[in-house]
Amino acid sequence: MANSKKRVLSGIRATGRLHLGNYLGMVKGMIGLQESKEYEPFFMVADLHAMTTPYDPESLRRNVREVVLDYLAAGLNPEKASVFVQSLVREHVELAYLFSTVVSIARLSHLPTYKEKVKQYPENNTLALLYYPVLMASDILLYKTQALPVGDDQLPHLEIAREIAKKMNEKYGTDFPEPQQMKTEGHYVPSLTGEGKMSKSVEGSYINLTDSLEEIKRKLAKVPTDSGTQRGSIPEIGGVRSLYVFYKLYFPDDFEELFEKPYKSGRIRYDTIKNSLAERIYNELVPIQEKRRVLEAKPEHVDKVLIDGAEKARKIAQLTLEEVKEKMGLK
Ligand code: TRP
């Protein structure tokens, strides 16, 4: 029976094409899960969340499509997983409203993610932005998701989802699980600038899944490094640390030999390191790029995937919503 499987859900804001951080931090982990018989994965394109920062309707429409293509090209299998667009399953918004009755404004306004966005877009300090984590809790709990492969940057949001689950269970006797992070191999993918994580909103920080080998080389060439004659342990922050994290991900068996040792003895050659890294990354992206080209030529196939995905998601979402409405006194 399908519902004896554990549901896992993840989503990406529809603000553009996926980058390597999204892929390593989430998509790759989910692809692993879809092959296991234990899990039932849901992949969502968060179009409503994309409206919490300044956007234009035409780009939003295009970006939803870009994310779906990237998801499918990266290997999500719609036969095994449900791929859907958030706004097409209306229950997300309705449950979020019900959840908003158990979350305080103070709690939400102190979240680091909220504060950062307000700083970034001071003209856009909207109610929708404040409400972001409530909608995300709804995305997660509608499917009674227990574990999610999300990046570390999402942990404050996950904490809100847990608090909501707990409050709802205490107050209304629902049975929401308290969702946990499922750590993927790439749960923290650093920025190419050497500061913070890879992010679409930071120019020069990311590699796109559609980048050519030349582009990847060009981007890696810009990662700031030291003179290469330093000795001692690898720095905790900065460009050298970013390269090191990537090296570990892409050369799991020989990063000590190829990176750590030469660094420690002051003989590291960053141009060699960067070139071999660019090639490994590109090799992983080639099949994704090929599949994307095939999918781009089959828009009806993509439409069908989204219709089926929304239908599968809606079935479960409706059950949860009905249950919550009843328990909260709406029925
Ligand atoms: N906040 C997530 C991000 O910025 C996107 C997201 C929206 C999400 N709803 C979700 C992730 C539900 C996991 C589960 O990447």
CATH code at 247? 1.10.240.10
Q: Is residue 198 part of a domain?
A: no
Q: How confident is the model at residue 3 (pLDDT cuts 50, 70, 90)?
A: low
* 66 pocket-lining for ligand 1 (C-beta < 6 Å): no
- Give a yes or no: residue 196 inside a domain: no
221 lies in the same domain as 82 = no
Tell me how far CA of residue 263 lies from CA of 81, 176, 189, 236, 267, in angstroms: 43, 48, 21, 14, 6
The model's pTM:
0.90
Q: Are 182 and 147 in contact (CB under 8 A)?
A: yes
Per-residue pLDDT at 245 exceeds 70: yes
Could you tell me if 183 and 304 lie in one domain? yes
Same domain? 253 vs 167: no
**What average pLDDT is seen over the chain?**
94
Instruction: Report which protein residue has its CA nearest ligand 1's atom 9.
Output: 136
pLDDT of residue 1: 45
Note whether 314 and 142 are within 8 A (CB): no
Q: How far is CA 234 from the centre of its chain?
A: 28
User: Is residue 252 situated within a structural domain?
Assistant: yes
Residues annotated as catalytic (active site), given as ranges? 117, 197, 200
Residue closest via CA to ligand 1's atom 13 equals 10
pLDDT at 100: 98
Rounded distance from Cα 18 to ligand 1 centre (Å): 13
Does residue 305 share a domain with residue 184?
yes
Are residue 303 and residue 168 in the same domain, yes or no? yes
Chain position carrying tokens 């099949």: 287
Output the residue whose Cα is nearest ligand 1's atom 14.
10
Residues 281 and 316 in one domain: no
> Which position has the token pair 């290469």?
228
Q: How far is the CA of 292 from the centre of ligand 1 (A)?
A: 23
pLDDT at residue 2 in the model: 47
Q: Please work out whether the CB of residue 10 comes within 6 Å of at least one atom of ligand 1.
A: yes
Is the CB of 140 inside a 6 Å radius of any atom of ligand 1?
Answer: yes
The answer to whether residues 95 and 227 belong to one domain is: no
Contact 134, 99 (CB under 8 A): yes
- The predicted structure's pLDDT at residue 259: 96
19 and 133 share a domain?
yes
- Is 27 a member of any domain? yes
31 and 166 fall within a common domain: yes
Q: Identity (one letter) of the amino acid at 64?
A: V
Provide the strand spans (E) within 28-101.
Answer: 39-46, 82-85
Nearest to 277 by CA among 285, 265, 288: 285
CA of 129 to the centre of ligand 1 (A): 13
Backbone angles phi, psi at 9, to 5 degrees: -130, 140
Please indicate, yes or no, if residue 202 is contained in any of the structural domains: no
Residue-wise pLDDT for 129-144, tens only, equals: 999 999 999 999 999 9
Instruction: Note the pLDDT tens digit of each residue in 203-219.
Output: 899 999 999 999 999 99
Q: Are 137 and 96 in contact (CB under 8 A)?
A: yes
Total tally of structural domains belonging to the chain: 2
3-state secondary structure of 236: coil
- pLDDT reported for residue 169: 98
Please indicate, yes or no, if residue 208 is contained in any of the structural domains.
no
pLDDT (mean) for 307-323? 97
Residues 91 and 18 in one domain: yes
- Provide the token pair at 260: 């750590």
- Give the integer Cα–Cα distance in Å for 2 and 37: 10
> Torsion over CA of 85, 89, 91 and 95, rounded to 10 degrees?
0
| One domain for residues 161 and 227 | no
Each residue of 299-311: pLDDT tens digit? 999 999 999 999 9
- Does any domain span residue 248? yes
CATH number at residue 13: 3.40.50.620
State the distance from the centre of ligand 1 to the C-alpha of 275, rounded, in angstroms.
Answer: 33
CA dihedral 142, 300, 67, 16 (to 10 degrees): -130
Domain of residue 21, residue span: 6-188+299-327
pLDDT in tens, 278-289: 999 999 999 999
Whether residue 199 lies inside any domain: the answer is no
132 and 226 share one domain? no
Q: Is 85 in the pocket of ligand 1 (CB under 6 A)?
A: no
